[in-house]
Each structure stands twice: as structure tokens, then as C-alpha cells.
Amino acid sequence: MSAAPTSPGAPQGSTRELLTLAGPLMLSNLAYTAVGFTDTLLMGRLGVVEVGAVGFANICLLTLVLLFRGSLNTASTFVARALGAGDAAGVRRWASVFLGSALVGVPLALVGPLLLDGLFALLRPEPGITAVARTYTHIRVWEIPVLLLGSAALSVMVGLGNTRTPMRLAWLVVVVNAALAVLFIFGLGWGVAGAAWAAVIAVTLQNGLALGLLGHLHGPRFGPFRLARPTRGELGSLARVSLPAGVTELADVSAFTAFQGVLSRLGPTELAASQIALQLASLGFLPAFALASATGSLLSRALGAGRPEVATRIGWRGTGLAAAFMGVLGVLFLTLPRPLIGLFSRSPEVLAVGTSVLAVMAAYQILDGVAIVLGGALGGAGDTRFRLIVTLTGAWLVMVLGASWLAPRYGVTGAWGAALAFITLAAVAYVLRFASGRWRSVRL
């Protein structure tokens, strides 16, 4: 999949080019943060248990879909590589393969409630939290089929350099979810179930439109995108690149789900404070994920165009931008913890616990930015197996086992200290890997 450097799809590797692609993605992720803020604020009006339980439920839902969604999100890597090489037929083919693979969402939705109940039984949160989370998740599973199809379509758009359409669709979710949630939760008195149905409708609308707009906007240039079955050779590529990426996402979030289970056993106050702190931290890590997506897409295009030196420059520039942004957020966490936590809860206990959690989060903001963006850069190069090794080692052995040992002794601060150790390990490992240049020779 190599081509001459003169390919019209070849990026230049400038900061402006990176920010042009990443900017709409940052706004997209800010929209997802706004959805989380809205749900947390509304649940806060219902009670402390509801705040923690809905946040816990969302992590469990992510655990259910991330193997598949993480694999499908590598569509941007394959499409961007073909685009950089000037291979229009390759763009169309890979887009169709990933759309066809997204049909796995249908059986997943059918068995989802059973899998979620098994996860709740394994994690053993408090009974009140389990009851609320079960109500919420058993409704949300019905969005999974269109969610996966839409995820594939959105990833193809990112690979093609179109990040404005995903941004507009993300903000559509904010508006629709907020309006319906207020109506369903308070107007109709549906409580937590109302929040779930509002999310299902908003997410289904977003991803359904993404699927239609992919063909409408990009079909004239690349031809029709159909649901295609992968060939044996394509299955090999998916196994080498996409499957490890999906397993990495699953391992990462399932480890965090287990971490949340540790927090939930400390009590509703600790869980609620941690969920609020996470919503605040998402102001940093979701834009960093946007930079990671943009970095990975541009890096893959540069490799497709035969420009590894440009790919290297893209990776380091994206990392520097993320570290600078998240460093500012870390300062805010240290200087304004109580006002920030107070936006969500006035409970003295939640304020006290949340302040200590934000202090630990402040310590790892820069490292988190480095790990997120360089992880995205390695993913864009197809070096997904290295990311999988780091995640399995760090997330489970360091964060989960560390939190399980530290939480009973040092409480919620000890648990988050284990998360700090994992993020430090990941950042150092990705810096060393990217600096080595071994990712340049990875074959898709």
C-alpha cells in the first residue's frame, strides 16, 4: 500500500493540518462530555445513588461493545492508508468491509442483557446501585446495532479527513438527549429509565444519519459503499490490526470497569465523587482522544504516501499539543477542586472525597495526554499488538490489582494512586516505542 510522495492524499505534517483535523473531533468529544455532564446533573437531582449507578452502568455498557467498536474504529487506519496511496478502490473496499463487519451488533444486542447481568454479578456493587444500573443498561442495549454501524461509518469519515460531519452529529446528540431526558425523567416521571430511553433515541438518530451521510457525501468520489464480506487476506489484516485494537479497548475499559467495581464497594459517596471527578477529567482526555484520532489518521496517510518522516513529525506534534492542554487542566484541578466538584453536588462528604480524587488526577494529566496520543499514533501505524501488551500489563496488573490492594488500606485515594501508576507506565512505554521507529515497518 505504498505510493509516491506526490500522492494527492499525502499530508504535510504541519501543526495547522493536525489541528484542522483534530478541532472538529475535539468539539465532537466535547459534545460527548456534555452528554455525560447532562446525565450526571440530572441524576444528581434524583439522588447520590443514581449519580454513581448511571456512571457505573455506562462503563458496563462500554465494556459490552468495545471489543467490536474498537475493532471497527480501525476503519480510519485502513481507509487513510489507501487514501494516502491514492487508491480510491481500496478506500471503497475497506469501507464496505468494515460496514459489513458491523452487523455483529444484532446478535450482541440480543444477548446483551444476559451478559450485563453476569457482569453485575461478577463486580458485586451495592444492591441499590445494581438495581438502578440494571434498569438503565437493559434499555440502552437496543441501540447497539445502529451504534456499531454508525461507528464504522464515522471512522471511515475520519480516515477520509472529514471530521466536521461527525462533529455536527455529536452535537445533535447533545440537543436531542438533553431535551428528551428532561421530558422523560421529570415531565413523564420515568426517572432513570427516562434517561436511558432519551439516550437510545439520540444515539440511534446520530448513527443512522452517519450511515446515510457517508454514502451521500463520499459516494460520488469513491463509489457506493456496501456491506461486504472480507476475503481471506482481508481477514488476516483484520486479525493483525483490528482485533488487537478491539481487545485493547476491551481490556482497557473492562479493567476500568473492574476498577469502578473496587470503588463501588467503598460506598455510594466514594463512587459518586469518582464519577464527578471523571466527568471533569473528561474535559481533558476526550480532547486528547480527538488529537489521537487525528494524529493516527494523518500518520497512516503519510505512511501510505511513503512519507515516514512526516508520520514521525505528526506523532510528536500531536503529543506535544495534548500534553500542553492537559497540563492546564491539571493546574485547575489543584487550584479549584471544591468549586469544580460543587457544580455537581453540594454534599460535604462528596466535596471532601472529590477534592482528594482531583488531586491525584492532577498529577497524571500530562502523562495521560502523552499516553493517549502516542497510543493513537501507534494505532494509526497498525502497531496495535504493542498497545495490547501495555494495556494488559498495566491496566490489569498495575491498576486493578493495585487498587484492590490499596483501596481497603488507603481508601479512594489509594485506588486512584494505582491508576496514576498505570498511566505513568503507559506513557513511558509509548514514548520509547514511538522513538524506536519500529512502528514504521508494521504491515496492515
Cβ(92)–Cβ(223) under 8 Å? yes
pLDDT tens digits along 310-331 = 999 999 999 999 999 899 988 9
Query: Nine-digit cell at 150?
Result: 454508525
Burial of 67 (C-beta count, 10 Å sphere; 0-12/13-18/19+): buried
* Block residue for cell numbers 501508576: 421
% of the chain exceeding 70 in pLDDT: 97
pLDDT tens digits along 71-113 = 999 999 999 999 999 999 999 999 999 999 999 999 999 999 9
Cβ(291)–Cβ(22) under 8 Å? yes
The secondary structure element, H or E, covering residue 345 is none
CA–CA distances in Å: residue 400 to residues 67, 256, 311, 422: 19, 8, 34, 9
Tell me which of 211-220, 231-240, 275-284, 420-429 is least confident.
Answer: 275-284
Q: What is the C-alpha to C-alpha distance for residues 241 and 258, in angstroms, rounded to an integer?
A: 26
Radius of gyration of the chain (CA): 21
pLDDT tens digits along 327-384 = 998 899 989 888 888 888 788 888 888 888 898 888 888 899 999 999 999 999 999 9
pLDDT at position 8 is: 58
Measured at the CA of 270, the angle between CA 269 and CA 274, to 5 degrees, comes to: 115
The DSSP code sequence of 158-189 is HHTT--HHHHHHHHHHHHHHHHHHHIIIIIS-
Q: Which amino acid is at 316?
A: W
The DSSP code sequence of 110-143 is HHHHHHHHHHHHHH---HHHHHHHHHHHHHHGGG
pLDDT at position 232 is: 92
Q: What is the C-alpha to C-alpha distance for residues 376 and 293, in angstroms, rounded to an integer?
A: 6
pLDDT tens digits along 118-140 = 988 887 777 888 888 889 999 99
The secondary structure element, H or E, covering residue 441 is none
Region 38-47 average pLDDT: 78
- Residue 1: pLDDT band by 50, 70, 90 thresholds? very low
pLDDT tens digits along 267-297 = 888 888 888 888 788 777 778 888 999 999 9
pLDDT at position 433 is: 97
In our burial notation (b when 16+ CB lie closer than 10 A, e otherwise), range 261-283 reads bbbbbbbbbbbbbbbbbbbbbbb
Q: What is the C-alpha to C-alpha distance for residues 211 and 215, in angstroms, rounded to an integer?
A: 7
Cβ(40)–Cβ(275) under 8 Å? yes
According to DSSP, residue 8 is labeled T
Give the distance from CA 300 to its chain's centroid.
Answer: 19
pLDDT at position 354 is: 86
Query: Nine-digit cell at 160?
Result: 477520509
Q: What is the mean pLDDT of the chain?
A: 89
Q: What is the C-alpha to C-alpha distance for residues 186 and 188, in angstroms, rounded to an integer?
A: 6
pTM to 2 decimal places: 0.84
Phi, then psi, of 234 in degrees rounded to 5: -65, -35
pLDDT at position 2 is: 40
For helices 88-101 and 144-159, the axis angle rounded to 10 degrees is 160
pLDDT at position 5 is: 42
